[in-house]
């Protein structure tokens, strides 16, 4: 099979990232898979033939070293987490920093390191994993803000990259069956409550299919945004909650 190009996928050790690695390798891409968990990455490499890189996405020096020798045609910014997702006022300083450093700063850093090569070659594709939490007020100040940043990064990036031939796509999923809440919430009761929906959620493979659709479009076509969610999940509406004004005064 002729190689379609070189791809770098972050957050590749499980969930959406691992599904994207499987989808891309099966469709002729040479894939570099990046994540913290080396043993899982190695198992994925044994399965798919991808090249594993056990790196913490927040380690800027390690990213600099990696990208000095890697010139991807496709960057899939998938790594993300939801530390502090249960509420801003109960979050710790470390949880705020962890979410912003992973979901926003690392995305910008990888773009900074990757885009010069794409621009020089006159081609390339960036896929950023956003979320419906970045499009609608749903669940969390911290996580929603980080994914709202991802949305504006993509929209402004298209302006900066005009005339270069480099494409930018945002994938904004709703609920996906992954380890997201296992990693985001330490309290078992809270975690189980937020994890349990009773609906048929999206699978990581559904997101990988959407990404493959975007990257497989003809070179002159930019699939700017794909928003997808389970049929049983909706957003919006008006909510009311009473306040005891006499007590507050």
Residues with a catalytic annotation lie at 143
Confirm if 145 and 200 have CB atoms less than 8 A apart. no
51 strand-pairing partners: 32
Length of the chain (residues): 249
Q: How far is CA 198 from CA 37, 66, 172, 183, in A?
A: 30, 42, 21, 20
- How far, in Å, CA of 32 to CA of 107, rounded? 16
- How far, in Å, CA of 88 to CA of 141, rounded? 6
The order of strands in the sheet holding 74-77 is 51-54, 29-35, 5-10, 74-77, 124-129, 166-173, 225-228
């Amino acid at each position: 099979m002729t190689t379609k190009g070189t791809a770098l996928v972050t957050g590749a050790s499980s969930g959406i990232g691992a599904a994207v690695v499987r989808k891309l390798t099966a469709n002729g891409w040479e894939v570099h898979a990046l994540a913290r968990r080396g043993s899982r990455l190695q198992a994925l490499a044994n399965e798919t033939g991808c090249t594993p890189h056990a790196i913490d996405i927040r380690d800027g020096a390690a990213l600099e070293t990696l990208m000095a020798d890697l010139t991807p045609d496709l960057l899939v910014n998938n790594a993300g987490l939801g530390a502090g997702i249960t509420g801003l006022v109960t979050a710790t300083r470390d949880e705020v920093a962890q979410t912003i450093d992973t979901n926003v700063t690392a995305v910008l850093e990888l773009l900074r390191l990757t885009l010069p090569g794409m621009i020089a070659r006159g081609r390339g594709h960036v896929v950023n994993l956003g979320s419906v939490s970045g499009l609608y007020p749903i669940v969390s100040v911290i996580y929603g803000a980080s994914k709202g940043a991802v949305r504006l990064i993509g929209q402004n990036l298209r302006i900066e990259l005009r005339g270069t031939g480099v494409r930018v796509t945002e994938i904004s999923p709703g609920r996906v069956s992954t380890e997201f809440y296992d990693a985001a919430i330490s309290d078992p009761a809270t975690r189980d409550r937020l994890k349990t929906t009773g609906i048929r959620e999206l699978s990581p493979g559904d997101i990988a299919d959407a990404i493959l659709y975007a990257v497989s479009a003809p070179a002159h076509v930019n699939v700017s945004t794909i928003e997808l969610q389970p049929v049983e999940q909706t957003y919006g509406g008006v909510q009311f909650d009473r306040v005891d004004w006499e007590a507050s005064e």
